[in-house]
Structure 1
Amino acid sequence: SVVIPGSNPEKNIAALVTSEVLKSWNILQKKDKDKEEEEGSL
């Protein structure tokens, strides 16, 4: 991540955490969707 000099470090950390959480959430959502499709094809 890019840390801008003079910016609020807490804000940078929050943004980084948020993006990581969103990434994990998207992966989980995708896994659930794949699982549903597999069960639906049985």
Structure 2
Amino acid sequence: MVPTRLSEMNGPQPEIRYGIIASGNTLIKDAATRDKFVEAT
């Protein structure tokens, strides 16, 4: 997207997104399990 004067003055436009929201801070050391999570998202 090329910024224009109007978009710079108005700031970023809000976006509506649908789907699962997940957050986590656990390290998954098992590569097979980690790959399953990646494929599911």
TM-score by length of 2: 0.26
TM-score by length of 1: 0.25
RCO comparison, higher one (Cα < 8 Å, 6+)? 1
More helix by share: 1
